[in-house]
Structure formats: C-alpha cells, structure tokens
Amino acid sequence: MTRLKYPWFSLLMLGVILLFAQRITYADAAITKVCPSTGIQARATDFKPGGIILTSFDKSAIWVYNIDNGRRYPLPDTAPCTSNCHLSPDSTWLTFFNDPTNTFNIMHLDGTQRALVVENAAEVEWWNPTTYLVWTPAKQAYLVPTAGGDKEYLNVDGVISVQPGGRFGLEVKPKDDFFERWLINLQLRGIDGVSDQAVDLGADKAYFDAQSWSPDGKWLGYVAPVPIAAGSKQVSGEIFGIKPGDTQPTQWTHLTSIYGAERINGVAVGELSWSPDSSKIAFWVTPITGANFTANLGSSVIHILDVNTGALTSYCGFATNDQTPNPSRLVWSPDGTTLAFAGALPNDKNGYYLLAMDVASGAITSLTQGVFPVFGVPDVVAWGNHE
C-alpha cells in the first residue's frame, strides 16, 4: 500500500471538497411546491397539535387561545406585544411587560404563576433555560440566573442581538452613507491588541435585514440585499447563514434566480422564524413588481428552508397582500409540525383569522376569527405548551 507523503494535504483537500459540496447543495436546491387539494378548512374538534396560542383579539391585552378546548380570554395586566415577548426553551413560560407595575415578569401561557424578573429593563429574553438576557433602557445588557444571582454584563455597544447560550453578537455600525452588520466575539471585544473576530455580513437595509439566531445558538440566519443582476442598483433579498467562529457566511437561498426581485418578510428585524429544533426557517417571500420595493409588490407566500439540506418549500394554500410594513409573524408549534399566523381569507369581509398550516401537507385550518391588528397587521405572539 502506498503511503501519502503529505497526509495533511489530503485532509485539507477533503475539507475543501466538503465545503464546496455544501455550497453546491444550497445553490442548486430546487423549490418544492406544496399545494393542498382543499381550501382553508374550519377546525375539527380533535385538531392537533394542541397547546396555547397567544395573540390579540383587541388592543387591551395579550389573549389566550386554548387549542384544546377552543376557549379564548385576555390576560390581565398585560399589553399587546409581538417579538418583545419571549417563549422559554421548553415552551411553557413567557417573559412579558407588566403594564401596571412597569416591570418585566414571567408567566405560564395561561397567565398563571406570575413572577417578577426585573424592575428596570427594556426587554428580557431567555439566553438559555436557566439564564435571562436583560436589556436595559440605556442599551446595556447582562446575563442573570433565572433563580437569582450575580449579573454578568456584556459589551454590547452597537449590538442588536446576542447568541443564545454564547458570547457572539450582531453589531450594526455606520459605513460611508449606510449601515453595515458585523458578527463579533463579545468576549474579545475591547481587549487591547486582540481581534474581536469581526465578520462583515453586508449592508443593513430596511426591508432586507431580517435576522434571528437559531434556538440552539449554532447559527445566525439573516437576510441581505443582493443585486438582481451584475451592475444593477435594484436589489433582492436572500438568506445567509453563519456559525459563530466562521470567517464568512454561506448563502442559503438563491430565490432571485427563480422569482426575480423579491423581499423576504418586512421592515422589522428579527423576523426569521426558526423551528424549535433549529433545522428549518419559515419566512414570507414577496415579489417586487416595480421600482418602489415598499409599494410595488405581489402577494406574499410562505416558504420553508431546511438549513441542513438546502431544500426549499413553497406553500400555495395561502397568500397575503398585508405585507407593508410587515406580514404576520410565523410561529411554530412546539413539536415543529405546524405554523400559526394571522390573515384575511379570500372573498371574506369578516376581519382576520387565526390560521394554522401543517408543514407536511400544506393544509390550512382556520382556528378562530377576530385577530386584531394592534400594530397595523394581525399578529401571533407565541405557541406554547400547557404547564
């Protein structure tokens, strides 16, 4: 048997081949269309999966919709919220702003077992199952155990999000006449002579800047603007991904080559919806039909990306024109089988419905009606389990 003189070279080439193969997978992934044979159906009494969906049926409070018994009711001492209410990793608790006391609390999704988290905060997230990430009104951030204890302050100047369970952050800072996003190592930040491992993620452009961390913290998925053609000033949205510690991102979608110019979600950042197991991202794709990407738009359609295989799925069962500034949030069921969102039904003048889409079949069920567009569009806050 002939021995390789430089075995390290073979390993290096194997790594290059595997990396190239991964990028080919993403670039060549075709879109699978899932079109249910029936229209939007009324819910059956045995609808699954169960649990509790939080949304708003008026502007007074967060509302509970109990899937298992069909009941719905407002939660006292709460204010309507969207992405600033955070579901715990086990899907049984929610952080929320207690309006009368001006504090952040936690509660079960049915409103029970409330407890104070912090008195002076702008937002409270779950950093891991036993630790909160608290953002202060002065835009500082610290970690604190859920059971109480010492605070660990993070260097988050200019940072808009922090890696769950980790020490990387997404920074936005000026560059020339626009803003740019960078992935940085917060632990190395500010140490003389030490690089914070900053990776340039491209321009931060309104309507092309959605981003969110995977629940396990292993990936940052984000939307970035790309030219629709070489030398063109018109841009389209694509999804990229990067792991903390990587030196460059990977382009996960190539939708522009299929659809032409399009937007992914709306103007709000942080609206890519990861599945609970961190394997898929659900998002809206909106065709851009003219020069004004805020007004010249087609109907938005749900897509799901499998980040492990690059597989893309488009769902034909529902489309919406309520996409400026944002379409409804897409919220996963705790078991990862179903998406909840809100929207108007075709040829129906009865307002907005709470809808659920099975991601395997694309079948859509109308759970209830009357979702109220508190912030301009109807929205869903969270889908969790009973205590």
**By the 8 A CB rule, do 45 and 61 touch?**
no
Residue 19 pLDDT: 39
Q: Which residues contact 263 (CB under 8 A, 6 or more apart)?
A: 207, 208, 236, 237, 285, 286, 288, 293, 297, 323
Enumerate long-range contacts of 273-277, CB under 8 Å, 24 or more apart.
273/212, 273/329, 273/330, 273/331, 273/332, 273/339, 274/212, 274/213, 274/214, 274/215, 274/221, 274/332, 275/332, 275/336, 276/91, 276/215, 276/332, 276/334, 276/335, 276/336, 277/215, 277/336
Residue 263 pLDDT: 97
Domain at 205-327: CATH code: 2.130.10.10
92-105 per-position pLDDT tens digit: 999 999 988 999 99
Whole-prediction pTM value?
Answer: 0.91
* Structure-token match 């952040």, residue found: 104
Q: Which of 271, 321, 320 is nearest to 296 (CA)?
A: 321
Residue 29 pLDDT: 58
Within 10 Å of residue 114's Cβ, how many Cβ atoms?
A: 15
**By the 8 A CB rule, do 56 and 339 touch?**
no
Helix H or strand E encompassing 13: helix 7-28
Residue 3 pLDDT: 38
Note down pLDDT in tens along the chain; length 387 residues. 333 334 443 433 434 333 333 333 455 558 999 999 889 999 999 999 999 999 999 999 999 999 999 999 999 999 999 888 999 999 999 999 998 899 999 999 999 999 999 999 999 999 999 999 999 999 999 999 999 999 999 999 999 999 999 999 999 999 888 899 999 999 999 888 888 899 999 999 999 999 999 999 999 999 999 999 988 889 999 999 999 999 999 999 999 999 999 999 999 888 899 999 999 999 999 999 999 999 999 999 999 999 999 999 999 999 999 998 999 999 999 999 999 999 999 888 889 999 999 999 999 999 999 999 998 889 999 999 998
Residue 198 pLDDT: 94
* Structure-token match 């292993």, residue found: 218
Angle subtended at Cα 213 by Cα 207 and Cα 215, rounded to the nearest 5 degrees:
135
Instruction: Assign 257 to helix, strand or coil.
Output: helix
Residue 23 pLDDT: 38
Q: Which two tokens stand for residue 25?
A: 């997978």
Question: Across all residues in the chain, what is the average pLDDT?
Answer: 91
Q: Domain-by-domain residue ranges, the chain?
A: 36-110+329-387, 205-327
**By the 8 A CB rule, do 109 and 380 touch?**
no
Which residue(s) pair with 211 in the sheet?
222
